[in-house]
Chains A and B, each alone.
Chain A
């Protein structure tokens, strides 16, 4: 399905959606949002791109296989969960910086937990969808 309208719309939508997903990831601690929803929005951006330009083109802009995002995300989450144990605190305790950072706001270990979730969600969703669409392509050929 090659539609010029969808292709040119996607060109603008992809960065906007990615930015929005990042916004959701950052505001998640006090308001609705967070890593899971942010990850879903980001993967929708890539899925839209693959609708417009084909799955192979999307794989090209991703550079790495989405599967490799899963262990990276899991590792970030697990490290953020276990780091408090190094300070003698119970696992999963939130550690926060004293001063807020401009634009981003307060940074704590739970942000990294969310970041890990964000990456895992993108990895899982894209792996599932791309596997299905590549299988379909092979069957058609």
Chain B
């Protein structure tokens, strides 16, 4: 069905960014605009989601060019749900950055760039054209370079160089893959590619192209052995920026892997084994890295890598149950990881450091906020009935029915390491007293109540969504079930884009 308004969640962020550019250097106006723009974004995303949920896949032919020739935007259940979750995360980050960020950074255009980044994310989820997906990826990485270097401290620049080098390499692989794909099929529309790729005589060339895409998306989503840029760059920018990066950027890579491998390159035995090996190694290396970190944000960065492995493993099995687990985990992961980095930012405001050795006493001082944080940490670990628990059930079920016992073992290892590191962090940061000889630099206590609320509200907002996802898992499972149906039988997607054929 054609709906000309599916790009509204993209345009609202573009408009917000432009309005903020006009209010250059007026930081208070920019903060208000950012919160209003993100709230409108959430409303538009809800509208898109309910419409897709009730009336099926929506498409828009931009410039009114017919399907395989022009650029198509497609909103199926997976993309519209991701747009909704991204908008929620963006609203939380907007609220948090209104107080949790130094004015210096806002003066150099933090807010417009942040909205350009969210625009890129929404666009990447909605596009139905493989080259257009590349363009959205460029929008995302250019904005993220600016966000990462804004402030210009030495550690930031060092992190940004690693981040930029790896991401440009990833884009090169991705672009080369698109070039070959266009050469062998003569089309860039993903639905059209799904039909034409089967007719290519030289199927081994198709396999090689798939590897190009896998390397490109693998770097972006931090899969073993290409993950090391992530832990060495995510701890450098301010927490509000790290929250956007940690929660959303790697997940776009996972989304792209799901989309490309479910629609164009249906995984064969070789690809499945390759993905499975990568998933297991990602979980193991991520867990080992997380065990030895004492800086909270470095710890979270390694946990991101570890949990990316869970999702890649689900894609590798490519059965309905496994995909349900993967997609549910993807939703849960975006919400929780964004929140984790916001929590790290809050802890920094309260104590002035993120080193666990010199932190402590937060539970005694702020029991209510600590309990709120505990809910988020519990759902990250996957304590039933919170949101991290349900997807793991599906992943375990799928790995046992498919005989993937090594992956099941890796899942158990990853979950245990998450539990251990988070429990360790809880006792170090919240229960332990402030170590002797450490000066506490508490910026949170003297703040006026309004600013305190602005810092805690986004964590509460995302925490409530996590609780909703966990406690209302039945509704989410119905949704995830429909999504994985759409991913496995791609006929409705192709018909929605190209019209009924044959």
Determine if chain A interacts with chain B.
Answer: yes
Task: Give the complex CA separation of A92 and B24 in angstroms.
Answer: 27
A89 touches B11 (CB 8 A): no
A82 within 8 A of B: yes
B4 partner residues in chain A, CB cutoff 8 A: 85, 88-91
Taking a contact as CB atoms closer than 8 A, the residue among A68, A85, A94 that contacts B5 in the complex is A85
Q: Identify the stretch in B57-65, B192-200, B260-268, B361-369 within 8 Å (CB) of chain A at 4 or more residues.
A: B57-65
Given contacts A85-B4, A91-B4, contact A74 B62 (CB under 8 A): no
A78 touches B7 (CB 8 A): no
B412 partner residues in chain A, CB cutoff 8 A: none
Q: Identify the stretch in B14-22, B88-96, B272-280, B282-290 within 8 Å (CB) of chain A at 4 or more residues.
A: B14-22
A90 touches B61 (CB 8 A): yes
How many B residues touch A, CB cutoff 8 Å? Answer: 15
Given contacts A67-B24, A85-B5, contact A91 B14 (CB under 8 A): no
Task: Give the complex CA separation of A80 and B21 in angstroms.
Answer: 18
A71 within 8 A of B: yes
B63 touches A90 (CB 8 A): yes
A85 partner residues in chain B, CB cutoff 8 A: 4-5
A125 within 8 A of B: no
Given contacts A67-B24, A85-B4, contact A90 B18 (CB under 8 A): no
A70 within 8 A of B: yes
Given contacts A78-B14, A90-B4, A91-B7, contact A70 B21 (CB under 8 A): yes
Q: How far is the CB of A2 from chain B (nearest CB, A)?
A: 33
Taking a contact as CB atoms closer than 8 A, the residue among A71, A82, A91 that contacts B21 in the complex is A71
Task: Give the complex CA separation of A92 and B15 in angstroms.
Answer: 15
Q: How far is the CB of A75 from chain B (nearest CB, A)?
A: 5
A82 touches B11 (CB 8 A): yes
B24 touches A71 (CB 8 A): yes
Q: What's the dominant secondary structure at chain A's contact region?
A: helix
A93 within 8 A of B: yes
Taking a contact as CB atoms closer than 8 A, the residue among A71, A75, A93 that contacts B64 in the complex is A93
A71 touches B11 (CB 8 A): no
Task: Give the complex CA separation of A88 and B14 in angstroms.
Answer: 20
Q: A9-33 toward B: CB 8 Å interface, digit per residue (1/0)?
A: 0000000000000000000000000
B11 touches A90 (CB 8 A): no
A74 partner residues in chain B, CB cutoff 8 A: 18, 21
Q: A75-88 toward B: CB 8 Å interface, digit per residue (1/0)?
A: 10010001001001
Q: How far is the CB of A92 from chain B (nearest CB, A)?
A: 4
Taking a contact as CB atoms closer than 8 A, the residue among B15, B18, B22, B60 that contacts A91 in the complex is B60
Task: Give the complex CA separation of A88 and B18 in angstroms.
Answer: 24
Task: Give the complex CA separation of A88 and B64 in angstroms.
Answer: 11
Interface residues in B21-35 by Cβ distance below 8 A to A read 21-22, 24
B64 partner residues in chain A, CB cutoff 8 A: 89-90, 93
Task: Give the complex CA separation of A94 and B22 in angstroms.
Answer: 27
B63 partner residues in chain A, CB cutoff 8 A: 90-94
B21 partner residues in chain A, CB cutoff 8 A: 70-71, 74
B11 partner residues in chain A, CB cutoff 8 A: 78, 82, 91
Nearest chain B residue, comparing its CB with the CB of A68: B24
Nearest chain A residue, comparing its CB with the CB of B4: A90
Q: B36-65 toward A: CB 8 Å interface, digit per residue (1/0)?
A: 000000000000000000000000111110
A67 partner residues in chain B, CB cutoff 8 A: 24
Q: How far is the CB of B122 from chain A (nearest CB, A)?
A: 14
Given contacts A70-B21, A85-B5, A89-B4, contact A78 B15 (CB under 8 A): yes
Nearest chain A residue, comparing its CB with the CB of B61: A90
Task: Give the complex CA separation of A28 and B24 in angstroms.
Answer: 31
Q: How far is the CB of A129 from chain B (nearest CB, A)?
A: 19
Nearest chain A residue, comparing its CB with the CB of B15: A78
Task: Give the complex CA separation of A94 and B70 in angstroms.
Answer: 13
Task: Give the complex CA separation of A67 and B61 in angstroms.
Answer: 34
B7 partner residues in chain A, CB cutoff 8 A: 91
A71 touches B5 (CB 8 A): no
B22 partner residues in chain A, CB cutoff 8 A: 71-72, 75
Given contacts A67-B24, A85-B5, contact A75 B62 (CB under 8 A): no
Q: B373-400 toward A: CB 8 Å interface, digit per residue (1/0)?
A: 0000000000000000000000000000
Task: Give the complex CA separation of A89 and B3 in angstroms.
Answer: 9
B18 touches A75 (CB 8 A): yes
Interface residues in A52-79 by Cβ distance below 8 A to B read 67-68, 70-72, 74-75, 78
Given contacts A78-B11, A91-B4, A91-B7, contact A71 B60 (CB under 8 A): no
Q: How far is the CB of A68 from chain B (nearest CB, A)?
A: 8
Nearest chain A residue, comparing its CB with the CB of B20: A71
Which of A75, A82, A90, A91 has the largest count of B CB atoms less than 10 A from its CB? A90
Nearest chain A residue, comparing its CB with the CB of B62: A92
A71 touches B62 (CB 8 A): no
Task: Give the complex CA separation of A136 and B61 in angstroms.
Answer: 49
Nearest chain B residue, comparing its CB with the CB of A88: B4
Task: Give the complex CA separation of A72 and B22 in angstroms.
Answer: 8
Q: How far is the CB of B69 from chain A (nearest CB, A)?
A: 13
Task: Give the complex CA separation of A68 and B11 in angstroms.
Answer: 21
Q: How far is the CB of B443 from chain A (nearest CB, A)?
A: 32
Q: How far is the CB of A121 from chain B (nearest CB, A)?
A: 15
Q: How far is the CB of A36 from chain B (nearest CB, A)?
A: 16
Task: Give the complex CA separation of A90 and B7 in angstroms.
Answer: 9
Residues of A within 8 A of B (CB): 67-68, 70-72, 74-75, 78, 82, 85, 88-94
The 10 A-B residue pairs with the shortest CB-CB distance, nearest first, are A71-B21, A92-B63, A93-B64, A71-B22, A92-B62, A90-B4, A74-B18, A75-B18, A90-B60, A90-B64
Q: List 7 A-B contacts (CB under 8 A).
A: A71-B21, A74-B21, A75-B22, A78-B15, A78-B18, A90-B4, A90-B61
Question: Besides A71-B24, A72-B22, 12 other CB < 8 A contacts?
Answer: A67-B24, A71-B22, A74-B18, A74-B21, A75-B18, A75-B22, A88-B4, A90-B60, A90-B61, A90-B64, A91-B11, A93-B64
